[in-house]
């Protein structure tokens, strides 16, 4: 998409696409504003003129989550689980996360010198981690993965809009049923996990969360960090395989260097390329007037390559600093899971680099992730020499 972004930044940085009936915004400054200015740009899809209310209760659970709410309700919902995603809180779990990544890699890395970074590490690792934090059995992880992939998937070419909507609905209903049972069991026996935090907030006097909001939150937390973190790890390996051989030595030797490189992957190959908003009031940008109720797409992937903000924006520079990328969004909805995603990426990549050297891509063609806003690959076969 990067050539298209560049052309749009030059020719039509704010433009209306009549086919999709949406505005597109491409420049760093503008994307940052759309993400941050929540009085002008609402995160609530219900604000859109063309919004159709879901027919059945349960179908719209995801709409009742922090991701799609504006303040003040947004802040109340986020406040329920905020504490759990603080870096200092996660730090205690790092050794355990390392063990999880290590086990996956020990099964995959061998003398034959081939593996699939996605299937062997980048996909199962975040699903296992979030299942543990939530407190649902990691053995259900195949089911979680199917659900999360289905929710972020774009409609496939051979499927009509109705079949697609049906499938989305079905997925949400299955997840709601699953979490309803989990919530019931936790009510009787609270534990040290996110599910118990959510159940407590739901049953507290005054009800900080409705039942629907509690279910929506479980679904959001299970889904938001899977395909995104999978593609952060996979996109990182793609960047590293293209870079100088010395880079891998440096990343092995220095955690700070690895952390900086991960930030650059978030900029250069952003796993989330776009987020959606609705204008809450009329607003003029770059001479174009956006009316209240119009949908607006903020192209994060384009903002992150805007050379008004980044020197040599089209070049991967693993030591780039400062690096004010918008890969986790900006402002009110700044990614809740950013500290977790950063930790998972660092741990997963460093465990991988401990085991392999001379890492390179194969000539097999790469299949893009089936989603309209997630950027990455379905699988990433690599060759390497085993490190001993
Ligand atoms: C929000 C990206 C991992 C949970 C966001 C947003 C972005 C983003 C761009 C902003 C959405 C908006 O402005 O509308 C990413 C990327 C990830 C990642 C690139 C991995 C590399 C995670 C993880 C979790 C998570 C691991 C948690 C398990 C959330 C939640 C929100 C969010 C709950 C909504 C926050 C709010 O509305 O206040 N993420 N995310 N994300 N993310 Fe992430």
Q: ipTM of this model?
A: 0.97
In terms of pLDDT, which residue wins out, 266 or 212?
266
194 within ligand 1 shell (Cβ under 6 A): no
Domain ranges of the chain: 2-386
Contacts of 47 (CB under 8 A, 6+ apart): 278, 280, 293
* Gap from CA of 76 to ligand 1 centroid (Å): 17
Question: Cα of 339 to ligand 1 centre, how many Å?
Answer: 10
In which band, very low, low, confident or very high, does the pLDDT at 200 lie, cut at 50, 70 and 90? confident
Q: Which among 173, 172, 174, 198 is positioned nearest to 185, based on CA atoms?
A: 198
Q: Is the CB of 329 under 6 A from ligand 1?
A: yes
pLDDT for 305: 98
The share of the chain scoring above pLDDT 70, in percent, equals 96
* Average pLDDT over the chain, rounded to an integer: 92
Segment 118-145 shows an average pLDDT of 90
- Per-range mean pLDDT, top range of 57-71, 76-90, 145-159: 76-90
CA dist., res. 290 & res. 282, Å (int)? 6
Beta partners for 116? 381
Question: Which helix or strand (DSSP H or E) is residue 89 part of?
Answer: helix 87-91
Identify the weakest region by mean pLDDT among 196-210, 211-225, 251-265, 310-324: 196-210
Ligand 1 in contact with 217 (CB < 6 A)? no
26-43 per-position pLDDT tens digit? 999 999 999 999 999 999
pLDDT at 119: 93
Residue 345 CA: which ligand 1 atom is closest?
21
Cα 272 to ligand 1 centre (Å): 9
Q: Which of 63, 69, 224 to mutate to test the pocket of ligand 1 (most atoms within 8 A of CB)?
A: 224
Nearest residue to 355 (alpha-carbon basis) of 99, 136, 167, 108: 108
* Whole-angstrom distance, CA of residue 229 vs CA of residue 98: 15
Task: Spell 313-329 as b/e; 16+ CB within 10 A means b.
Answer: beebbbebeebebbbbb
Does 351 have pLDDT greater than 60? yes
Nearest CA to ligand 1 atom 17: 228
Q: Is the CB of 303 under 6 A from ligand 1?
A: no
* Superfamily of domain 2-386, CATH level 4: Cytochrome P450 (1.10.630.10)
Confidence of residue 155 (pLDDT cuts 50, 70, 90): low
Q: Is 220 in the pocket of ligand 1 (CB under 6 A)?
A: yes
206 pLDDT above the threshold of 70: no
Q: Which of 275, 271, 327 lies closest to 298, judged by CA?
A: 275
What is the value of pTM for the model shown? Answer: 0.94
54-75 pLDDT per residue, tens:
776 666 788 899 999 999 999 9
Reported as a pLDDT band with limits 50, 70 and 90, residue 348 is: very high
* Ligand 1 geometric centre to CA of 223 (Å): 10
């Amino acid at each position: 998409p990067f050539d298209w972004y560049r052309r749009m930044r030059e020719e039509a940085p704010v433009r209306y696409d009549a086919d999709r009936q949406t505005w597109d915004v491409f420049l760093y400054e503008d994307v940052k504003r759309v993400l941050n200015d929540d009085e002008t740009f609402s995160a609530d899809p219900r604000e859109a003129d063309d919004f159709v209310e879901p027919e059945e209760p349960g179908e719209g659970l995801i709409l009742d989550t922090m991701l799609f709410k504006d303040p003040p309700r947004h802040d109340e919902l986020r406040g329920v689980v905020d504490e759990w995603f603080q870096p200092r809180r996660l730090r205690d779990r790092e050794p355990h996360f390392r063990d999880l990544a290590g086990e996956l890699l020990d099964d995959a890395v061998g003398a034959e010198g081939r593996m699939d970074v996605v299937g062997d590490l980048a996909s199962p690792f975040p699903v296992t981690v979030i299942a543990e934090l939530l407190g649902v059995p990691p053995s259900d992880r195949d089911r979680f993965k199917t659900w999360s992939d289905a929710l972020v998937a774009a409609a496939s070419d051979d499927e009509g809009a109705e079949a697609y909507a049906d499938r989305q609905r079905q997925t949400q209903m299955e997840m709601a049923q699953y979490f309803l049972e989990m919530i019931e069991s936790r009510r009787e026996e609270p534990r040290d996990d996110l599910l118990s935090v959510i159940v407590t907030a739901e049953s507290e006097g005054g009800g900080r969360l409705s039942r629907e909001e509690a279910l929506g939150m479980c679904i959001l937390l299970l889904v938001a960090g899977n395909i995104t973190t999978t593609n952060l790890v996979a996109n990182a390996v793609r960047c590293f395989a293209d870079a100088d051989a010395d880079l891998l030595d440096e990343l092995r030797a220095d955690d700070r260097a690895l952390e900086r490189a991960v930030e650059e992957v978030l900029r250069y190959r952003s796993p989330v390329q776009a987020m959606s908003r609705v204008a809450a009031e009329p607003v003029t940008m770059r001479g174009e007037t956006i009316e209240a109720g119009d949908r607006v797409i903020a192209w994060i992937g384009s903002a992150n390559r805007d050379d008004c903000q980044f020197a040599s924006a089209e070049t991967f520079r693993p030591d780039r600093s400062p690096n004010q990328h918008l890969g986790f969004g900006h402002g009110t909805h700044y990614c809740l899971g950013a500290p977790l995603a950063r930790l998972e990426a660092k741990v997963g990549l460093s465990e991988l680099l401990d085991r392999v050297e001379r890492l390179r891509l194969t000539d097999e063609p790469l299949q893009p992730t089936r989603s309209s806003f997630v950027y990455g690959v379905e699988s990433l076969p690599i060759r390497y020499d085993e490190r001993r």
